[in-house]
Amino acid sequence: MSKAAPHRQALLEQVLKAEWEMFQTVNAVSRASCQDDPDSFAVMRGAQFAAWSDATLESYLLDLNQAVGQGKNLMTLKYARMDGLVPRLNSSPLVERIVEVQTRWQQELSKEFPLVLGRGRGVTDEQANSGTSFARYLAGELETYSERTLALLWQDMEAHLKANTNGARQVYTAMVKALGYEDLADAERSLASR
């Protein structure tokens, strides 16, 4: 295990703890089942950070801690923004750039692993039917980030673009491994055999 791994794990645990505490107080018409499942929450949210550098994760943890200090709940703001209940929270052009690239990555990966990715949100509003699309969900979340976190996240994504790699693959690989699969192909085969 590298020296960075324990530091990253500690960072991740702090981020997930802060997010979980915020998520528990999100008011909705009815309580979402995932609000009562901390293990699934940790798997899904933890996977989202697999393609992030330590610096980006540290910056996001600072965002979460600052929000708590200001009496803000970033999860409530994200869901309110997704549902169109509040005006735009952040006008940074990085929000659109990140959504555009991540949506493209998601669509590319959906073609390769349709069963794995088909279990989640539709990628675009047109593909989401009556639910919230991946693109809308992501934009709502990104609007809660500081400019510093957005800039660091964009740097992480630029590294993937420069290497011609798909950052969504890293996220979904982390997720399926946490769920007990060897890799994305193993998860796809398993879903196909059901």
pLDDT at 3: 46
Q: How confident is the model at residue 130 (pLDDT cuts 50, 70, 90)?
A: low
pTM attached to this predicted model: 0.90
Confidence of residue 82 (pLDDT cuts 50, 70, 90): confident
* Dihedral-angle region of residue 30 (phi above 0 means left; psi in -120 to 50 means alpha; beta otherwise): beta
Q: What is the pLDDT of residue 106?
A: 92
Residue predicted with more confidence, 118 or 122: 118
Report the 3 state secondary structure along 111-144. HHCHHHHCCCCCCCCCCCCCCCCHHHHHHHHHCC
For 2-30, write each residue's pLDDT tens digit.
Answer: 445 888 999 999 999 999 999 988 876 55
pLDDT (0 to 100) of residue 132:
73
How far is 160 from 154, CA to CA, in rounded Å?
10
Q: What confidence score (pLDDT) does residue 61 get?
A: 98
pLDDT for 173-188, tens place per residue?
999 999 999 999 999 9
CA distances to 30, 81, 96, 111, 189 from 58, in Å: 32, 24, 22, 33, 36
3-class secondary structure, 83: coil
Domain residue ranges in the chain: 4-192
What is the Cβ-side half-sphere exposure of residue 181, based on CA atoms within 13 angstroms? 17
